[in-house]
Structure 1
Amino acid sequence: MAQGAYGERLGRSFNLETPPTLGSRTERGHLIVTELLRDKPGFGFTEPIAPESAYLLGLQLRGITHHELWVDGRSIPVSPIAPNTTHLFDLECNPVCYTNEPFHDLFFYVPREALAELGGDDGKSAPRDLHWPRGAFLGDEVIRHIGYALLPALHAQQHTNQTFVDHVLLALRSHLVTTYGGFRAATAIRSQGGLAPWQERRVKELMRTRLADGVPLIELARECNLSTSTFVRAFRRSTGMSPHQWLMARRIDSAVALMGDHSRSLADIALLCGFADQSHFTRVFTARLGVRPGVYRANLPKSQP
C-alpha cells in the first residue's frame, strides 16, 4: 500500500526533503505528525496528493498574509492566516494550496479508519467524518498545545519517548471526534474497573524491561487484550497515573540509582534511562523531585556504589 500524506510523501508536495516526523500506531493504522518549515519566500503551489480516506490537520506556527486554496478544483474563499490557527483538509477532496511566503506548519495525518476505532469496545464506532467550516482557520487551544508539546520530540537528537508521543496523538484523536465529530464516547462512562492483577503485572514488567526505548501503547493494550483507549483508562484507575507518567517515574528511579556512580556523566545517565537528552532529563527530574540532578548528585557520598 502506498504511503499516506505524511513524512517524505507530504514533504515532496511542499518541495521539502525528509521533514521531521513522529507517529503512533492505532488498532488498524497510524496517526502521524509532520513538521514542514520553509524560511524562504517563493514557494508556489503544492503538488497534488493522491486522494485517500484521511484528513490532514494543519497547525500554522507562522502567519501567512496571502494564500489561496482549491478543493476539488474549485477556489475556496480564504482570509489571512493568523499564527497558531488550524485548518482541516479532507484528502478525499484533492486540496491544493498556493503561497509565496515562508511557512512553518505541523500537519497531523488522521485516517478516517483511525477515527472510527475510538468507540469500538462496545460495538459503537466514533464518526468517520469531521465537520469543519470550509476554508476556515480556527483558533483551537487544545490543538495548539498538542502541537507545541510535540515540537521537542520532533527535534530530539537521541531517544524519542514513544509512550509520550502515543498519549499526545491519541489525545488529539479523541479531541477531534468529540469536538468536530459530535461523538460522546460511551466507553468514558461505561466501566469503572481497572486492570486485572495479571494485566497490571505484565505491562509493568514490559515497561521496566524496555525502560530506555519505551513500549507503544498499542502493544501494552494488546498484552491485556484491550483497546488502547480502554487500556489507558484502566491503567490510570489501577495505578493513579497514566502509562506515560508511570514510565517517567520509573526512569527517574533508574536515574537516581545510577547517579551514585560518579564515573557516569548526567548526559550518559539521561540516555541510558530513555530521556531525549540531558535537558529533557533535567526538566523531568526537577519537576518530580524539586531539585536539579546536578544539585541532587552533589549531595550524594562519593563512595556510594
Structure 2
Amino acid sequence: MSDGVEYKRLAGLPGLVLGAGRFEAFRFERHYHLDYHIGLVTEGVQRQRVNADAFLLGPGRISVMPPGEVHDGAGECGSAYTLKTFRLSRDLLQRVATELTGSAREPELKSMMLEDPALAAQLLQLHEAMQLSPDASSLSVQSEWLSLLYCLFNRSGAIKPIAVNGANATLSPVHRQRLKDYCLFHLAEKITLDDLAALCGLGRFPFLRRFKQTVGMTPHAWLLRLRLEQACALLAGGKRTIAEVAQGVGFYDQSHFNKAFRQAFGVAPSAY
C-alpha cells in the first residue's frame, strides 16, 4: 500500500482538522505548526525528534505538540506506520479551555509524549466517530470531545482539575424533570449537548460533570436508553412498523436502531 493521507474538517467545529495517514517512504522533515497537534499511531512506530530529544510514538502513546515546536517524524527503522491527528487552531483551543476551566487563560501545553493506553484508545474512538460524522454537533461527539480534551489537558498538567463536590455538583430534581420532559417531547428530533445544558442554565462542560455525578451515566447513554425504552412501548402497542418506531424515537438509520436494540435487550426489535 502506498503512502497517503486524508484531512477532514467538521461542520459545527471550526478550527479542527482531522488527519489520517499511512507512511513508509515519506518522511516529515524538520518543521513546525501554527496550531496544536495531538498525534496517535495505531500501527507501527513513528520516531520523532523534538529539539535534541528523540521519542517513539506507538500504540498507547499520545503526542502533544504545541505551536512553534520544531520536530520531525519518520517510521522507526524505515517501517510503515499509521498516524491519526487532531489539529486544533489556537482560537479553538482557547474556546475549549475557557469552557473547561472557566478561565480565559490559555493552557500551558508543552511538547510531550504521554503513555496512557486507555486515553489513547478513547481518543482514537473519538477520531473515528468524527471521521464518520457529517458534523460535530451530535450529543455523543460533543460530550466525548469535551470530556476527553479535559482528561488530556489535565493529564498533561496544562489545566487544573475542576473540583466537583457539594450541592453545586449535582442537578436539582427540577432540572432532571425538565430534561426528561424536553427529551420525551423532542425524542424524534436531534438533541444536542447545547440544548440540554441550556435547559439547566449551565455551560456544556459543567452540565456534563453535574449530569454524570447525578445520574451515573453520560447524557448520551441516558438519552439512548430513553429512546430504546420508548421504542419498547411503541413496539408493544403493535400499531407501527419497526421503521416507524425507529424514526419515532430518533433513529434515522434502521440498522443502527437494530444494533442498539439488540445490545440493550438481547434480541432484535422484530423479536420483542
Give your verdict on TM over 0.5. yes
Contact 2:139 2:192 in 1 (8 A): yes
> Residues 56 and 90 of structure 1 are in contact (CA less than 8 Å); yes or no, is this contact kept in structure 2?
yes
CA distance 1:41–1:239, change in 2 (3 Å): closer
TM-score normalised to the size of structure 2?
Answer: 0.72
* Residues 45 and 98 in structure 1, CA contact (< 8 A), matched pair in contact too: yes
Which of 3, 24, 28 does residue 45 from structure 1 map onto?
28
Return the offset for 1:196: 4.5
| Distance change >3 Å, CA 22–CA 271, structure 1 → 2 | farther
Secondary structure, counterpart of 2:64 in structure 1: strand
- Aligned equivalents of 1:188 and 1:201: distance in 2? 22
Q: Name 1:118's counterpart in structure 2.
A: 100
Q: 1:154 to 1:231 in 2, by over 3 A?
A: closer
**Counterpart check, 1:298 vs 2:271:** yes
* Change beyond 3 A, Cα 1:50–1:145: closer
C-alpha spacing 1:198/1:125, structure 2 compared with 1 (3 Å): same
Q: State whether residues 48 and 56 of structure 2, in contact with CA within 8 Å, keep that contact through their aligned partners in structure 1.
A: no
The count of aligned residue pairs is 263
Distance 1:253 1:158 in 2: 27
Deviation track 1:11-48 (CA, whole Å, cap 9, x = no partner) reads xxx964454x66876xxx77x5725033x643333796
Larger displacement relative to structure 2 (152-161 or 198-207) = 152-161
Structure 2 counterpart of 1:105: 83
Query: 1:154-176 deviations in whole A, cap 9, x for unaligned?
Result: 46488988211122111212212
CA contact (8 A) 1:211 1:251 kept: yes
Distance 2:199 2:29 in 1: 42
The share of aligned pairs that are identical, in percent, is: 22
The one-letter code matched in structure 1 to 2:45 is I
Structure 2 CA distance, aligned partners of 1:37 and 1:59? 11
1:188 and 2:167 equivalent?
no
AA partner of residue 18 (structure 2): T
SS of aligned partner of 1:61: strand
The aligned counterpart of 1:204 is: 180
Q: For 1:168-209, what per-residue CA distance to the aligned partner results, in whole angstroms no more than 9, with x for missing partners?
A: 111212212321126443442354453345544444344345
Equivalent position amino acid for 1:45 in 2: F
Equivalent AA in structure 2 for residue 61 of structure 1: T
| Aligned partner (choices 42, 61, 67) of residue 85 of structure 1 | 61
Aligned counterpart in structure 1 of residue 41 of structure 2, from 45, 60, 74:
60
**Aligned positions of 1:155-234 closer than 5 A:** 156=132, 162-181=138-157, 183-189=159-165, 191-192=167-168, 194-196=170-172, 199-211=175-187, 214-234=190-210
Task: Specify which structure has the higher proportion of strand.
Answer: 2
Following TM superposition, where does structure 1 have runs of at least 4 consecutive aligned residues deviating by more than 6 angstroms? 46-49, 157-161
SS at match of 1:214: coil
Cα-Cα RMSD:
4.0
Q: CA deviation at 1:61?
A: 0.9
**Which blocks of at least 5 consecutive residues in structure 1 are unaligned?**
1-13, 300-305
- Deviation for aligned residue 1:139: 2.4
The 3-state SS of whatever aligns with 2:164 is helix
Query: Structure 1 residues 255, 60: CA separation in 2 closer, same or farther (over 3 Å shift)?
Result: same
For residues 288 and 17 of structure 1, what CA distance do their matches in structure 2 show?
35
